[in-house]
Amino acid sequence: MAFIELKNICKQYKGNPKNSVTDFSLDIDEGEFIAFVGPSGCGKSTTLRMIAGFEDITSGELYIDGRKVNEVKPADRSIAMVFQNYALYPHMSVEKNISYGLKNMKVPADQIKEKTDWAIRILGLEEYRKRKPKNLSGGQRQRVALGRAIVKDSKVFLMDEPLSNLDAKLRVSMRNEISQLHKKLKNTTIYVTHDQVEAMTMADRIVLMKDGIVQQVGKPMELYEHPDNIFVAGFIGSPQMNFFHCKVQDGQLVFPDGAKYQLTNEQNHKLAGRSEVVMGIRGEDIKFSDLYIQQHPENIMDALITNIEVMGNENNLYFEIGGQQTVARVDKYEVCQEGDTRQFVFNPDKMHFFDSKTERTIR
Protein backbone atom coordinates (compact mmCIF):
# COMPACT_ATOMS: atom_id res chain seq x y z
CA MET A 1 0.00 0.00 0.00
CA ALA A 2 1.30 3.46 -0.92
CA PHE A 3 1.84 6.07 1.80
CA ILE A 4 -0.71 8.42 0.18
CA GLU A 5 -3.42 7.04 -2.10
CA LEU A 6 -5.83 9.12 -4.14
CA LYS A 7 -8.50 6.95 -5.73
CA ASN A 8 -10.74 8.49 -8.40
CA ILE A 9 -10.87 11.83 -6.60
CA CYS A 10 -13.35 14.35 -8.05
CA LYS A 11 -14.23 17.89 -7.03
CA GLN A 12 -17.33 19.71 -8.20
CA TYR A 13 -18.29 23.07 -6.78
CA LYS A 14 -21.94 23.89 -6.16
CA GLY A 15 -23.50 25.64 -9.11
CA ASN A 16 -20.78 24.52 -11.51
CA PRO A 17 -21.84 21.64 -13.79
CA LYS A 18 -18.23 20.83 -14.65
CA ASN A 19 -15.74 19.12 -12.34
CA SER A 20 -12.76 21.17 -11.19
CA VAL A 21 -10.88 17.88 -10.69
CA THR A 22 -11.89 14.68 -12.46
CA ASP A 23 -10.94 11.08 -11.60
CA PHE A 24 -7.59 11.92 -10.00
CA SER A 25 -5.79 8.69 -9.02
CA LEU A 26 -2.23 8.53 -7.71
CA ASP A 27 -0.09 6.46 -5.34
CA ILE A 28 2.67 8.35 -3.51
CA ASP A 29 5.45 6.50 -1.70
CA GLU A 30 6.72 7.50 1.73
CA GLY A 31 9.48 10.10 1.44
CA GLU A 32 8.69 10.91 -2.19
CA PHE A 33 8.76 14.47 -3.56
CA ILE A 34 5.81 14.95 -5.93
CA ALA A 35 5.16 18.10 -7.96
CA PHE A 36 1.68 19.01 -9.21
CA VAL A 37 2.24 21.28 -12.19
CA GLY A 38 0.06 22.87 -14.84
CA PRO A 39 -1.40 26.20 -15.99
CA SER A 40 -3.61 28.36 -13.80
CA GLY A 41 -7.02 26.80 -13.21
CA CYS A 42 -5.90 23.23 -13.97
CA GLY A 43 -6.96 21.91 -10.53
CA LYS A 44 -3.56 21.39 -8.91
CA SER A 45 -4.17 23.65 -5.87
CA THR A 46 -7.72 22.30 -5.49
CA THR A 47 -6.29 18.75 -5.33
CA LEU A 48 -3.73 19.86 -2.74
CA ARG A 49 -6.45 21.46 -0.64
CA MET A 50 -8.49 18.26 -0.74
CA ILE A 51 -5.46 16.35 0.56
CA ALA A 52 -5.07 18.97 3.30
CA GLY A 53 -8.76 18.77 4.21
CA PHE A 54 -9.49 22.41 3.35
CA GLU A 55 -11.79 21.31 0.51
CA ASP A 56 -14.39 18.54 0.68
CA ILE A 57 -13.97 15.62 -1.72
CA THR A 58 -17.03 15.29 -3.97
CA SER A 59 -16.29 11.64 -4.75
CA GLY A 60 -13.40 9.22 -4.47
CA GLU A 61 -11.23 8.09 -1.57
CA LEU A 62 -8.13 9.57 0.06
CA TYR A 63 -5.81 7.51 2.27
CA ILE A 64 -2.81 8.74 4.28
CA ASP A 65 -0.62 6.05 5.82
CA GLY A 66 -3.34 3.45 5.28
CA ARG A 67 -6.11 5.49 6.95
CA LYS A 68 -9.05 6.86 4.99
CA VAL A 69 -9.17 10.58 5.75
CA ASN A 70 -12.06 11.91 3.63
CA GLU A 71 -13.93 13.04 6.74
CA VAL A 72 -10.90 13.65 8.98
CA LYS A 73 -10.29 17.26 10.09
CA PRO A 74 -7.16 18.99 8.71
CA ALA A 75 -5.58 19.17 12.17
CA ASP A 76 -5.83 15.39 12.54
CA ARG A 77 -4.23 14.44 9.19
CA SER A 78 -0.60 14.87 10.31
CA ILE A 79 0.19 17.38 7.59
CA ALA A 80 2.03 20.70 7.51
CA MET A 81 1.36 23.29 4.83
CA VAL A 82 3.42 26.12 3.37
CA PHE A 83 1.45 28.73 1.45
CA GLN A 84 2.20 31.21 -1.31
CA ASN A 85 1.88 34.07 1.16
CA TYR A 86 4.01 33.42 4.20
CA ALA A 87 1.18 34.10 6.72
CA LEU A 88 3.66 35.08 9.43
CA TYR A 89 2.57 36.90 12.57
CA PRO A 90 3.99 40.44 12.10
CA HIS A 91 4.28 41.16 15.84
CA MET A 92 6.26 37.96 16.58
CA SER A 93 9.98 37.30 16.16
CA VAL A 94 11.37 34.53 13.98
CA GLU A 95 11.65 32.06 16.85
CA LYS A 96 8.15 32.85 18.14
CA ASN A 97 6.64 32.43 14.67
CA ILE A 98 8.29 29.04 14.36
CA SER A 99 7.33 27.86 17.86
CA TYR A 100 3.78 29.23 17.97
CA GLY A 101 2.14 26.14 16.48
CA LEU A 102 3.90 23.88 18.98
CA LYS A 103 2.62 25.99 21.87
CA ASN A 104 -0.92 25.62 20.56
CA MET A 105 -0.37 21.85 20.44
CA LYS A 106 0.60 21.94 24.15
CA VAL A 107 4.08 20.58 23.46
CA PRO A 108 6.33 20.74 26.58
CA ALA A 109 8.48 23.87 26.73
CA ASP A 110 11.82 22.02 26.61
CA GLN A 111 10.75 20.19 23.43
CA ILE A 112 9.54 23.46 21.87
CA LYS A 113 12.94 25.04 22.47
CA GLU A 114 14.79 22.02 21.13
CA LYS A 115 12.69 21.82 17.96
CA THR A 116 12.76 25.58 17.36
CA ASP A 117 16.54 25.76 17.81
CA TRP A 118 16.95 22.83 15.41
CA ALA A 119 14.75 24.45 12.74
CA ILE A 120 16.52 27.81 13.08
CA ARG A 121 19.90 26.10 12.77
CA ILE A 122 19.00 23.88 9.80
CA LEU A 123 17.48 26.84 7.92
CA GLY A 124 20.36 29.21 8.62
CA LEU A 125 18.28 31.70 10.59
CA GLU A 126 20.42 32.04 13.74
CA GLU A 127 21.31 35.69 13.23
CA TYR A 128 17.67 36.57 12.51
CA ARG A 129 16.20 34.79 15.54
CA LYS A 130 14.95 37.97 17.23
CA ARG A 131 13.90 39.84 14.09
CA LYS A 132 10.30 40.43 13.11
CA PRO A 133 9.03 39.63 9.58
CA LYS A 134 9.14 43.27 8.41
CA ASN A 135 12.92 43.20 8.90
CA LEU A 136 13.44 40.06 6.82
CA SER A 137 13.91 39.55 3.09
CA GLY A 138 11.42 37.50 1.06
CA GLY A 139 13.70 34.47 1.12
CA GLN A 140 14.19 34.73 4.88
CA ARG A 141 10.42 34.98 5.44
CA GLN A 142 9.91 31.89 3.32
CA ARG A 143 12.47 30.02 5.42
CA VAL A 144 10.58 31.02 8.56
CA ALA A 145 7.38 29.63 7.02
CA LEU A 146 9.25 26.40 6.25
CA GLY A 147 10.56 26.31 9.80
CA ARG A 148 7.04 26.58 11.19
CA ALA A 149 6.11 23.54 9.10
CA ILE A 150 9.08 21.28 9.80
CA VAL A 151 8.96 21.54 13.61
CA LYS A 152 5.57 19.80 13.71
CA ASP A 153 6.93 16.31 12.91
CA SER A 154 4.24 15.96 10.26
CA LYS A 155 4.23 12.95 7.98
CA VAL A 156 3.32 15.05 4.94
CA PHE A 157 4.43 18.48 3.74
CA LEU A 158 2.10 20.32 1.36
CA MET A 159 3.53 23.36 -0.44
CA ASP A 160 1.28 25.62 -2.53
CA GLU A 161 3.43 27.75 -4.88
CA PRO A 162 5.73 28.80 -2.01
CA LEU A 163 8.27 30.58 -4.23
CA SER A 164 6.01 32.56 -6.55
CA ASN A 165 6.42 35.81 -4.57
CA LEU A 166 10.23 35.73 -4.81
CA ASP A 167 12.42 37.26 -7.49
CA ALA A 168 14.19 35.01 -10.00
CA LYS A 169 17.51 34.80 -8.13
CA LEU A 170 15.85 33.98 -4.81
CA ARG A 171 13.66 31.33 -6.43
CA VAL A 172 16.75 29.51 -7.65
CA SER A 173 18.41 29.55 -4.23
CA MET A 174 15.20 28.57 -2.42
CA ARG A 175 14.63 25.68 -4.85
CA ASN A 176 17.99 24.33 -3.77
CA GLU A 177 17.26 24.92 -0.07
CA ILE A 178 13.91 23.10 -0.23
CA SER A 179 15.51 20.20 -2.12
CA GLN A 180 18.31 19.91 0.43
CA LEU A 181 15.80 20.14 3.28
CA HIS A 182 13.76 17.32 1.78
CA LYS A 183 16.85 15.12 1.51
CA LYS A 184 17.60 15.70 5.20
CA LEU A 185 14.06 15.24 6.54
CA LYS A 186 12.80 12.65 4.02
CA ASN A 187 9.19 13.74 4.59
CA THR A 188 6.62 12.98 1.93
CA THR A 189 6.21 16.26 0.05
CA ILE A 190 3.61 17.45 -2.44
CA TYR A 191 4.59 20.67 -4.15
CA VAL A 192 2.23 22.73 -6.32
CA THR A 193 3.67 25.05 -8.95
CA HIS A 194 2.85 26.52 -12.36
CA ASP A 195 6.60 26.74 -13.08
CA GLN A 196 7.76 23.67 -15.00
CA VAL A 197 11.41 24.50 -14.17
CA GLU A 198 10.66 24.14 -10.44
CA ALA A 199 8.93 20.83 -11.09
CA MET A 200 11.74 19.51 -13.29
CA THR A 201 14.55 20.45 -10.90
CA MET A 202 12.97 19.45 -7.59
CA ALA A 203 10.56 16.54 -7.98
CA ASP A 204 11.05 12.79 -7.97
CA ARG A 205 7.89 12.59 -10.09
CA ILE A 206 5.71 15.16 -11.82
CA VAL A 207 1.92 15.14 -12.12
CA LEU A 208 0.99 17.36 -15.05
CA MET A 209 -2.63 18.54 -15.10
CA LYS A 210 -4.91 20.33 -17.55
CA ASP A 211 -8.57 21.26 -17.02
CA GLY A 212 -8.75 19.15 -13.86
CA ILE A 213 -7.48 16.00 -15.58
CA VAL A 214 -4.09 14.33 -15.13
CA GLN A 215 -2.26 14.35 -18.46
CA GLN A 216 0.83 12.37 -17.44
CA VAL A 217 2.67 11.16 -14.34
CA GLY A 218 6.36 10.30 -14.40
CA LYS A 219 9.91 11.25 -13.64
CA PRO A 220 10.93 14.67 -15.00
CA MET A 221 12.97 13.30 -17.91
CA GLU A 222 10.20 10.83 -18.80
CA LEU A 223 7.84 13.73 -19.43
CA TYR A 224 10.54 15.64 -21.27
CA GLU A 225 11.70 12.83 -23.56
CA HIS A 226 8.53 10.71 -23.80
CA PRO A 227 5.48 13.00 -23.55
CA ASP A 228 2.09 11.32 -23.84
CA ASN A 229 0.50 14.11 -25.87
CA ILE A 230 1.01 17.52 -27.45
CA PHE A 231 0.05 19.38 -24.27
CA VAL A 232 2.72 17.62 -22.20
CA ALA A 233 5.32 18.07 -24.95
CA GLY A 234 4.59 21.78 -25.20
CA PHE A 235 4.33 22.50 -21.47
CA ILE A 236 7.52 20.76 -20.35
CA GLY A 237 10.73 22.31 -21.64
CA SER A 238 11.93 25.85 -22.42
CA PRO A 239 11.84 26.98 -25.13
CA GLN A 240 8.83 24.78 -25.82
CA MET A 241 8.84 22.06 -28.45
CA ASN A 242 8.30 23.12 -32.08
CA PHE A 243 5.20 21.60 -33.74
CA PHE A 244 4.46 21.18 -37.45
CA HIS A 245 1.25 19.94 -39.08
CA CYS A 246 2.46 17.74 -41.93
CA LYS A 247 1.15 15.46 -44.66
CA VAL A 248 2.60 11.97 -45.00
CA GLN A 249 3.16 11.20 -48.70
CA ASP A 250 5.42 8.65 -50.45
CA GLY A 251 7.64 8.13 -47.40
CA GLN A 252 8.03 11.85 -46.78
CA LEU A 253 6.78 14.51 -44.40
CA VAL A 254 5.42 17.40 -46.42
CA PHE A 255 5.31 20.73 -44.56
CA PRO A 256 2.61 23.35 -45.24
CA ASP A 257 5.08 25.45 -47.27
CA GLY A 258 6.03 22.47 -49.44
CA ALA A 259 9.31 21.60 -47.71
CA LYS A 260 9.91 17.86 -47.52
CA TYR A 261 11.64 15.52 -45.10
CA GLN A 262 12.61 11.95 -46.04
CA LEU A 263 11.35 9.58 -43.34
CA THR A 264 13.59 6.82 -42.03
CA ASN A 265 12.49 3.18 -42.29
CA GLU A 266 11.56 3.19 -38.60
CA GLN A 267 9.54 6.40 -38.98
CA ASN A 268 7.77 5.01 -42.05
CA HIS A 269 6.80 1.93 -40.07
CA LYS A 270 5.51 4.06 -37.19
CA LEU A 271 3.41 6.29 -39.47
CA ALA A 272 2.10 3.54 -41.76
CA GLY A 273 -1.48 4.18 -42.86
CA ARG A 274 -1.49 7.84 -41.78
CA SER A 275 -1.96 10.78 -44.14
CA GLU A 276 -1.53 13.56 -41.56
CA VAL A 277 0.52 13.94 -38.39
CA VAL A 278 1.87 16.59 -36.06
CA MET A 279 5.65 16.40 -35.86
CA GLY A 280 7.34 17.85 -32.81
CA ILE A 281 11.01 18.54 -32.19
CA ARG A 282 12.85 20.33 -29.42
CA GLY A 283 15.17 23.22 -30.15
CA GLU A 284 18.33 21.35 -29.18
CA ASP A 285 17.50 18.61 -31.70
CA ILE A 286 17.63 21.00 -34.67
CA LYS A 287 21.25 20.61 -35.71
CA PHE A 288 23.40 23.17 -37.54
CA SER A 289 26.74 21.37 -37.13
CA ASP A 290 28.65 20.04 -40.13
CA LEU A 291 28.76 16.58 -38.52
CA TYR A 292 24.95 16.17 -38.54
CA ILE A 293 24.59 17.77 -41.96
CA GLN A 294 27.10 15.31 -43.43
CA GLN A 295 25.28 12.38 -41.80
CA HIS A 296 21.87 13.37 -43.19
CA PRO A 297 22.45 15.01 -46.60
CA GLU A 298 19.02 13.90 -47.86
CA ASN A 299 17.24 16.15 -45.32
CA ILE A 300 19.20 19.41 -45.38
CA MET A 301 17.01 22.50 -45.03
CA ASP A 302 17.73 26.22 -45.04
CA ALA A 303 16.98 28.60 -42.18
CA LEU A 304 16.83 32.39 -42.61
CA ILE A 305 17.68 33.62 -39.11
CA THR A 306 15.20 36.31 -38.04
CA ASN A 307 16.16 36.73 -34.38
CA ILE A 308 18.84 35.59 -31.94
CA GLU A 309 18.50 35.33 -28.17
CA VAL A 310 21.90 35.25 -26.48
CA MET A 311 21.39 33.31 -23.24
CA GLY A 312 25.03 33.20 -22.13
CA ASN A 313 25.50 29.43 -22.04
CA GLU A 314 23.55 28.95 -25.29
CA ASN A 315 21.82 30.82 -28.09
CA ASN A 316 18.24 30.56 -29.35
CA LEU A 317 17.95 30.98 -33.11
CA TYR A 318 14.57 31.93 -34.60
CA PHE A 319 13.59 31.24 -38.20
CA GLU A 320 10.62 30.10 -40.27
CA ILE A 321 9.95 26.64 -41.62
CA GLY A 322 6.67 25.11 -42.61
CA GLY A 323 5.16 28.58 -42.57
CA GLN A 324 5.66 29.05 -38.84
CA GLN A 325 8.23 30.43 -36.45
CA THR A 326 10.69 27.87 -35.18
CA VAL A 327 13.33 28.08 -32.46
CA ALA A 328 16.59 26.12 -32.32
CA ARG A 329 18.77 25.95 -29.22
CA VAL A 330 22.46 25.91 -30.13
CA ASP A 331 25.85 26.08 -28.45
CA LYS A 332 27.03 29.55 -27.48
CA TYR A 333 29.95 29.19 -29.87
CA GLU A 334 27.67 28.67 -32.90
CA VAL A 335 27.70 32.33 -33.84
CA CYS A 336 25.61 33.84 -36.62
CA GLN A 337 23.83 37.10 -37.42
CA GLU A 338 20.23 38.05 -38.10
CA GLY A 339 19.64 37.74 -41.83
CA ASP A 340 22.10 34.85 -42.24
CA THR A 341 20.94 31.72 -44.05
CA ARG A 342 22.13 28.54 -42.34
CA GLN A 343 21.75 24.89 -43.25
CA PHE A 344 20.31 22.52 -40.67
CA VAL A 345 18.87 19.03 -40.21
CA PHE A 346 16.48 17.47 -37.72
CA ASN A 347 17.93 14.78 -35.47
CA PRO A 348 15.78 11.84 -36.68
CA ASP A 349 16.15 10.00 -33.37
CA LYS A 350 14.52 12.87 -31.47
CA MET A 351 11.49 13.60 -33.64
CA HIS A 352 8.10 13.14 -31.97
CA PHE A 353 4.90 12.26 -33.83
CA PHE A 354 1.36 12.97 -32.62
CA ASP A 355 -2.06 12.03 -33.95
CA SER A 356 -3.47 15.15 -35.61
CA LYS A 357 -6.96 14.57 -34.14
CA THR A 358 -6.44 13.08 -30.67
CA GLU A 359 -3.07 14.84 -30.12
CA ARG A 360 -1.82 11.63 -28.48
CA THR A 361 1.73 10.45 -29.08
CA ILE A 362 2.10 7.85 -31.83
CA ARG A 363 4.06 5.02 -30.21
What CATH number has the domain bearing residue 251?
2.40.50.100
Residue 85 has pLDDT above 80, yes or no: no
**28 lies in a domain?**
no
The DSSP annotation for 238-283 comes to SSPPEEEEEEEETTEEE-TTS-EEEPPHHHHHHTTT-SEEEEEE-G
Q: How far apart are CA 351 and CA 114, in angstroms?
A: 56
Which domain covers residue 315, as residue numbers? 242-354
Q: Which of 50-54, 162-166, 204-208, 263-267 has the lowest mean pLDDT?
A: 162-166
Query: Sign of the C-alpha dihedral, residues 109, 110, 115, 116?
Result: positive
**361 lies in a domain?**
no
Q: How far apart are CA 257 and CA 330, in angstroms?
A: 24
> How large is the average pLDDT for residues 314-342?
91
> How large is the average pLDDT for residues 124-134?
92
**326 lies in a domain?**
yes
Number of domains in the chain: 1
Q: Which one, of 144, 192, 142, 145, lies nearest residue 171 by Cα? A: 142
Q: How far apart are CA 26 and CA 3, in angstroms?
A: 11
- The H or E element containing residue 173 is helix 168-185
Q: Is the pTM of this model over 0.75?
A: yes
**320 lies in a domain?**
yes
**248 lies in a domain?**
yes
Residue 86 has pLDDT above 80, yes or no: no
**30 lies in a domain?**
no
* Cβ 278 vs Cβ 359: under 8 Å: yes
**349 lies in a domain?**
yes
**262 lies in a domain?**
yes
